[in-house]
Amino acid sequence: MTFLTQVLNGLQLGSIYALVALGYTMVYGIILLLNFAHGDIIMVGAYISWIVMAQLGMSPVLAIILSVVGCTVLGVLIDKVAYAPLRNAPRLSVLITAIGVSYFLENGAQLVFGADAKVVPTYFNLPNPQVGGATFNGVAILTVVVTAVSTIILTLLVQKTKFGKAMRAVSEDMGAARLMGINVNNTISFTFAVGSALAGIGAVLYSMAYTQATPTMGIMLGTKAFVAAVLGGIGSIPGAVIGGLLVGFAEVFVSAMGFSVWRDAVVFLLLIIVLIVKPTGILGRTMNEKV
């Protein structure tokens, strides 16, 4: 039964990484941008929940809604202010800007909230179901279910809706999409909104599991989610989920074997091995550079 518990823990942690990795992979799939500020958007979502519940004493439902909405608005705002003016700039300039936005959010949070960890109150008292004598964590089950539903909705959005078709068109050929009448800037902003909404959901699930918010919480979370996106094949929705689960299981089982101090190293070792064997990632495809 301990094995089943560890599997559920791996699914829970991997699901959080998968949600964050989906945000990375969507933005990269559209404009080839590694949005390193993505992890810090999750940090902002966690602080919004803390403010709403701990400081204002309001409903957890309202905290969830405001966290997701706040992350969505922040993601779109970052795109409009920091990335949109650099649409035609060299890719390195945009990458440096993304790193700058990340530092700005981290230091801004530290200036406003302080460097100490803030305890995020419990959203809901979920029951821990028992199966065959084993007790399973209710938060872990909820995390897996929410991630699965979010992935299905995202897949349907990309494959079946008008906005999804526009996103795929911009991803394939931005110039041709513009000539076909697609508003490229609006499509990119919509992509940032969706990715940031997923980050908001991830922030809530992370806060449920670990009940704290710190200014630097998004650094390692975002880095590992980026590793997950690359592992699965950045630009691929199923790949982001597979990569997230691989990273989650790797961390949990390494810790379960008594090597918890190596859990971060194992994640990056896994990335190196996959990139040596298959540089595009598990479900990635080779992208031809147009000249």
CATH number at residue 211: 1.10.3470
Contact 21, 244 (CB under 8 A): yes
HSE-up of residue 188 (Cα within 13 Å, Cβ side)? 23
In angstroms, how far is CA 66 from the centroid of its own chain? 17
Instruction: For residue 285, tell me if it sits in a domain.
Output: no
Domain count, the chain: 1
Q: Which of these, 152, 130, 118, 119, lies nearest to 19 by C-alpha position?
A: 152
Q: Which of these, 284, 92, 72, lies nearest to 191 by C-alpha position?
A: 72
Measured CA to CA, the distance from residue 273 to residue 247 in angstroms comes to 13
Domain extent at residue 22: 2-120+134-277
Instruction: For residue 128, tell me if it sits in a domain.
Output: no
Strand-pairing partners, residue 134, are 131
Measured CA to CA, the distance from residue 273 to residue 281 in angstroms comes to 10
Instruction: For residue 286, tell me if it sits in a domain.
Output: no
Q: How many CB atoms lie within 10 A of CB 135?
A: 11
Instruction: For residue 264, tell me if it sits in a domain.
Output: yes
Instruction: For residue 256, tell me if it sits in a domain.
Output: yes
Read off the pTM: 0.88
Q: Give the residue ranges of DSSP H helices in 211-262.
A: 217-232, 237-256
Buried b (16+ CB within 10 A) or exposed e, 211-224: bebbbbbbbebbbb
Instruction: For residue 261, tell me if it sits in a domain.
Output: yes
Q: Which of these, 247, 153, 150, lies nearest to 199 by C-alpha position?
A: 150
Measured CA to CA, the distance from residue 140 to residue 8 in angstroms comes to 7
Residues of the chain with confidence (pLDDT) below 50 = 290-291
Structure tokens at 267: 């994640």
Instruction: For residue 127, tell me if it sits in a domain.
Output: no
Q: In the prediction, which pLDDT does 291 show?
A: 43
Q: In the prediction, which pLDDT does 287 show?
A: 54
Measured CA to CA, the distance from residue 111 to residue 57 in angstroms comes to 23
Q: In the prediction, which pLDDT does 106 show?
A: 94
Which tens digits make up the pLDDT trace of 224-241? Answer: 888 898 888 887 888 889
Q: In the prediction, which pLDDT does 236 show?
A: 84
Instruction: For residue 125, tell me if it sits in a domain.
Output: no
Contact 243, 229 (CB under 8 A): yes
Give the 3-state secondary structure of residue 214.
coil
Residue ranges of E strands in the chain: 118-119, 130-131, 134-135, 212-213
In angstroms, how far is CA 67 from the centroid of its own chain? 14
Q: What are phi and psi of 118, to 5 degrees?
A: -100, 135
Buried b (16+ CB within 10 A) or exposed e, 141-161: bbbbebbeebbeebeeebeee
